[in-house]
Amino acid sequence: MTTQNFFSTQHSIQVATDVREAAMQNPGFGSVFSANMASARYTTADGWHDGKIVPYAPLSIAPSALVFHYAQEIFEGLKVYSLEDGGFSLFRPDANARRFVKSAERLAMAPLPVELFLESVEKLAKTDKDWIPKARGSSLYLRPVMFANQAALGVKPGSEYAYYVLACPVGDYFKDGNSGISLWVSENYSRAGIGGTGEAKCGGNYAASLAAQAEAQRQGCDQVVFLDSRDKTWVEELGGMNIFFIFKDGTIQTPPLGGTILPGVTRDSLLTLAKSLGIEAREEPYSIEQWEADARSGKLTEVFACGTAAVITPIRHIKRAKSEFTIGEGQAGKITLLLKNALLDIQQGRAEDKFGWVKRLG
């Protein structure tokens, strides 16, 4: 099995320029999709097969498909960036491919080989390159997804899977993200527990976060932040993003991975990037009580959320059941902006890629 010839493009389509440009005018995140998508199937008899680029269209699936009953489903998120010289590229697609394999293994699904994942996202990006926005901070967001489509009931791993990659032009995830977001600390709900699926990128983790997110919105907050499920003491992550803390001494810190936190590609990139900029970066536990005390004393000066969709988003205010507090001056800090601009410069070809992260496609 080799790359560049598994996913056929003979069924792909193009749309008229005016139709595409109209669709791309100020799209909301994940609300406008490009003309095509990648598709492949798996059966135990044939393995992965029937790879192709096809027009974006609704799917036909049996109501008894295992995904609807036992939630065998995983997904990824990565971006295609327009470069300064007119080309375009992917950012660390190999990291997403490897995480996709690990997520599949955790949910007892048939892993998609790394080389096929990479070919699918590269061919879709090349096919729909005209859908890549050119504005700074904008990109073509890719959503690979795999689910059990076997029509059968009974609690067991599926023997048939469907794989798709969707593409949508996007801008900022949060409308006013640069000015900072507010968080509600969830003390009633948990996103994941030890031995669970917290480190897999599966829909169940996000479903588990929605009641807490609704609670956050009722409290007037933009997002929810979760504590560990056992002690309700240690900060873990937001509903769909990792979190970083920046201290007065210029050091940064993020909660350590331990099976309950998603190993974000952006998180990993920022740990490496910070060290290259001379910023001490560490992975250590941080309690909610210490967070509040450090924010009030001024020891903690900046906090930000990060992820493929949100990139880097400043966090300005925290609300708890019995208290609330502001981070620093309540706006994006200098180290947050330094890291955000340094990352975007690499992703969009304005700075040297010293880490081999950028996969140029055109």
| 239 has a pLDDT exceeding 70 | yes
Confidence of residue 1 (pLDDT cuts 50, 70, 90): very low
The answer, as to whether pTM is greater than 0.75, is yes
DSSP characters over 114-169: HHHHHHHHHHHHHHTGGG---STT-EEEEEEEEEE--B--SSS--SEEEEEEEEEE
Whole-number pLDDT of residue 2: 46
Confidence of residue 177 (pLDDT cuts 50, 70, 90): low
Confidence of residue 39 (pLDDT cuts 50, 70, 90): very high
Q: Say which residue, 329 or 313, is predicted with more confidence.
A: 313
Whole-number pLDDT of residue 3: 54
Confidence of residue 136 (pLDDT cuts 50, 70, 90): confident
Half-sphere exposure of 310 (CA within 13 A, CB side): 24
Confidence of residue 176 (pLDDT cuts 50, 70, 90): low
- Cα–Cα distance between 286 and 234 in angstroms, integer? 6
Confidence of residue 310 (pLDDT cuts 50, 70, 90): confident
Per the CB < 8 A criterion, the answer to whether 65 and 149 are in contact is yes
Average pLDDT over residues 344-361: 94
Q: How many CB atoms are located within 10 Å of the residue 10 CB?
A: 7
Average pLDDT over residues 143-153: 97
Confidence of residue 315 (pLDDT cuts 50, 70, 90): very high
Average pLDDT over residues 65-88: 95
Per the CB < 8 A criterion, the answer to whether 215 and 224 are in contact is yes
Whole-number pLDDT of residue 309: 87
SS3 content of the chain, % helix, strand, coil (to 5): 25, 30, 45
Average pLDDT over residues 305-310: 92
Confidence of residue 331 (pLDDT cuts 50, 70, 90): confident
Average pLDDT over residues 280-308: 97
User: At CA 103, angle to CA 60 and CA 260, rounded to 5?
Assistant: 125
Which residues, in sequence order, are CB contacts of 239 under 8 Å at separation 6+?
A: 191, 206, 209, 210, 212, 213, 223, 224, 226
Phi/psi of residue 120, each to 5°?
-65, -45
